[in-house]
Amino acid sequence: MSKKSIVFTGGGTAGHVVVNLALIPEFLQEGYDVHYIGSYKGIEKDLISDLEGVTYHGIATGKLRRYLSIENIKDPFRVLQGIFQARKIIKKVNPSIVFSKGGFVSVPVVMASKMVGVPSIIHESDYTPGLANKIATKFSSYILTTFPETDQHLPSEKAKHMGAIIREELFEGDVRKAYEFTGLNDDRPVILVMGGSSGAQKINESVRNALPTLLKEFQVVHLCGKGKIDPSIEQPGYVQYEYVTDELKNLFAITDVIISRAGSNSIFEFLALRIPMLLIPLSRQQSRGDQILNAESFKKQGYAEVIEEEELTREYLVQKVKELNDQRDRFQDKMKTYQAREVKSDVVQLIKDTMK
């Protein structure tokens, strides 16, 4: 008897892949034949193609733009090509289900699955659904939401509030390895600064300007983005890296307070690990405003403090960090109500229940 197969899809950004990375090991462990459909050159290929036990398939994809561009003329043809490519792959693989994390590449895959009678489930991380998931929802069985408020933007018969799916490895951080990696110690609280994969200039500048004050009470681990290290800054208690991968779980283990953007996947990881957070969301000029809504929701629930980027100064940053650290116990008590590991188990069971 042949074993069951499952197709995952999603890409364009790391945020459209990390949930799949959390779920894939569950199905590999149970003996499923696991396939991933992504773009030819997207970040999803870099993150997935080397995973043992996972077969990666590339397809054509077009970007679904909300603005005028000459590429809008070409992209419908790319999407159409991607639908036929995905249909061919799905018919060959014959999966029991397709699980989509969103992004432009997922739309032709979910549409193709509907065409061949394979059920699909979509996961939406943000407070309001992105354009790709809005389109794909019409062809899916369910769309799973991370924020309870998201359900009001979706068809009631398809929306299911589940919560965030967290990678199990993040719970396995090693304090000793973190101190060895950073050269820090346990004599002062640790602030972890994360400005996103490409860094955030204003956050980086504000943190560095505040170092003379912050380092009197804290140690600072600064993930500043590719090409954003400032070699002129060498101070005891301050370490900087462009980015980290395998070491991140260990850094989380020694973090007392985190300064970050407000991408959904990241902030739910901080919540699951019970790390009080100071969120500085992308402004509406830089995004569709989803990070602002994410941050506002977390502040309302007592998980975070928020600074709008337009309000960000050295003095205000220091003030908010100190307030957050002083009230760390209160924030962590609120966070204890969120049970991240139960969410993943519930999602895995729903996927199995929806299989053809």
Domain range summary for the chain, segments of one domain joined by +:
5-162, 169-335
Instruction: Tell which residue, 306, 309, 304, 267, has the closest CA to residue 286.
Output: 309
Query: One-letter amino acid identity for 224?
Result: C
Query: One-letter amino acid identity for 255?
Result: T
How far apart are the C-alpha atoms of 140 and 115, rounded to whole Å?
Answer: 11
How far apart are the C-alpha atoms of 80 and 86, rounded to whole Å?
Answer: 10
- Cβ pair 220, 234 in contact under 8 A: no
Residue 59 DSSP class: E
Q: Are strands 238-241 and 159-161 parallel, antiparallel or unpaired?
A: unpaired
- Cβ pair 278, 320 in contact under 8 A: yes
Place of tokens 């940053």: 317
Task: For residue 43, give every residue at least 6 positions away whose Cβ sits within 8 Å of its Cβ, in sequence order, or none.
Answer: 11, 12, 13, 14, 17
- 3-class secondary-structure state, position 97: strand
The pLDDT of residue 284? 67
The pLDDT of residue 22? 93
Sequence-ordered strand ranges (E) for 60-113 = 97-100
The pLDDT of residue 230? 94
> Per DSSP, what are the bridge partners of residue 36?
8, 56
For residue 98, report the phi and psi dihedrals to the nearest 5 degrees. -115, 130
5-162 against 169-335: fold identical: yes
Query: One-letter amino acid identity for 10?
Result: G
The pLDDT of residue 74? 63
Instruction: Tell which residue, 171, 147, 160, 195, has the closest CA to residue 269.
Output: 171
Q: What is the pLDDT along the chain (356 residues), one digit of tens a residue?
A: 568 999 999 998 888 898 999 999 999 999 999 999 999 988 899 999 889 999 999 999 876 555 555 555 567 778 899 999 999 999 999 999 999 999 999 999 999 999 999 999 999 998 889 888 999 999 999 999 999 889 999 999 999 999 999 988 999 999 999 999 999 999 999 999 998 655 588 899 999 999 999 999 999 999 998 889 999 999 999 999 998 988 999 999 999 999 999 988 899 999 999 999 999 998 766 666 789 999 999 999 999 999 998 999 999 999 999 999 999 999 999 999 888 778 999 999 999 999 98
| Class of residue 132 by CB neighbours under 10 A (exposed 0-12, middle 13-18, buried 19+) | buried
Q: Are strands 238-241 and 257-260 parallel, antiparallel or unpaired?
A: unpaired
180-196: string of b/e by CB count within 10 Å (b at 16+)? ebbebeeeeebbbbbbb
- Cβ pair 132, 104 in contact under 8 A: yes
- 5-162: which CATH topology? Rossmann fold (3.40.50)
Q: Are strands 33-39 and 54-59 parallel, antiparallel or unpaired?
A: parallel
Report pTM: 0.84
- 3-class secondary-structure state, position 191: strand
Place of tokens 């307070």: 257
- Cβ pair 354, 6 in contact under 8 A: no
Q: In degrees to the nearest 10, what's the CA dihedral of 14, 15, 21, 24?
A: -120
- Cβ pair 61, 102 in contact under 8 A: no
The pLDDT of residue 50? 86
Q: Are strands 142-145 and 159-161 parallel, antiparallel or unpaired?
A: parallel
Instruction: Tell which residue, 208, 210, 217, has the closest CA to residue 189.
Output: 217
Pick the CATH number of 169-335 from 3.30.420.80, 3.40.1190.20, 3.40.50.261, 3.40.50.2000: 3.40.50.2000
Instruction: Tell which residue, 193, 218, 204, 198, has the closest CA to residue 275.
Output: 193
Residue 197 DSSP class: T
How far apart are the C-alpha atoms of 129 and 309, rounded to whole Å?
Answer: 23
